Amino acid sequence: MKIHLKEVKELLEEKYFQFNNTAFIETDPISIPHQFSKKEDIEIAGLLVATIAWGQRASIINNGNKLIQLMNNDPHEFIMNFSKKDITRFESFVHRTFNTVDCVFFLNSLKNIYTKHSGLEHAFSGKISSQEKDVKNAITNFRAVFLSIPHESRSDKHVSNPSAKSSAKRLCMFLRWMVRKDKHGVDFGIWNSIKPHQLCLPLDLHTGNVSRKLGLLNRVQNDWQAVEEITEILRGFDKKDPIKYDFSLFGLGAFEGFR
């Protein structure tokens, strides 16, 4: 039996309020940047933990905390002073396929971005228009800046490329954290150069499967085309803040086993 979009919207609205609250933070990777109050600390911690956000959530959070501890619990200060003498402390850091080589490159690239490109927000938004429909070009711009320093090609895979059809789930999630503004205390809303209506759904196994089950997504692959398809539907539900429904779709799949 086909589910009507009105019923789906009502369900997603209900689940948005159910899952978008501070109780969500503790068991989610967003708990890592929530340890900080300074904009640059939040950005850096957020990007790093979003980058390793695949696999078991407990493992992501555990390794995210390890990474922050290796940075003396002071991410921005550590990045700005990062040098060769600091590399050895990261020799044992690994999360899935993200290893020491990748980690050191990320730290060097972040230093380059904060010293030569006016910080992470500008790296995403510096060359895009306020009229952009979504964040595809912002992510592409960021990727070009991030990969502009010398590095081993193996690290490229850790910076998603929507122009090569990647769903860029982790970068879309990071942008949700930085851009969305509400009164529920989960997302930070500390960036103003990208607007909530431009955000795209972080498409993963949970959000993809639930979207298909609800009749919101037809495409089988979890690629950028699917991201555009589902995000357009969500804009029909809330044109100003479509990605608030990430809480609903993820929560239904991860917490309630809706498949």
Per-residue pLDDT tens digits of the chain, which is 259 residues long: 356 889 999 999 999 999 999 999 999 999 999 999 999 999 999 999 999 999 899 999 999 999 999 999 999 999 999 999 999 999 999 999 999 999 999 999 999 999 999 999 999 999 888 889 999 999 999 999 999 999 999 999 999 999 999 999 999 999 999 999 999 999 999 999 999 999 999 999 999 999 999 999 999 999 999 999 999 999 999 999 999 999 999 999 989 877 6
Alpha-carbon distance of 231 to 182, in angstroms, equals 19
User: What pLDDT does residue 38 have?
Assistant: 98
Residue 12: how many CA atoms within 13 Å on its side-chain side?
A: 29
pTM of the predicted model as reported, rounded to 2 decimal places: 0.96
Alpha-carbon distance of 111 to 81, in angstroms, equals 8
Which residues sit opposite 98 in a β-bridge?
Answer: 95
Alpha-carbon distance of 156 to 245, in angstroms, equals 30
- Exposure of 4 by Cβ count < 10 A (0-12 exposed, 13-18 middle, 19+ buried)? exposed
> Where do the structural domains in the chain lie, given as residue ranges?
5-254
The overall longest dimension of the chain from CA atoms, in Å, is: 63
- Exposure of 91 by Cβ count < 10 A (0-12 exposed, 13-18 middle, 19+ buried)? exposed
Element (H, E) at 173: helix 169-179
User: What pLDDT does residue 3 have?
Assistant: 61
Q: Cβ distance 168 to 161 under 8 Å?
A: yes
Sign of CA pseudo-dihedral 172, 44, 182, 213:
positive
Q: Cβ distance 202 to 169 under 8 Å?
A: yes
- The tokens for 170 are 């982790």
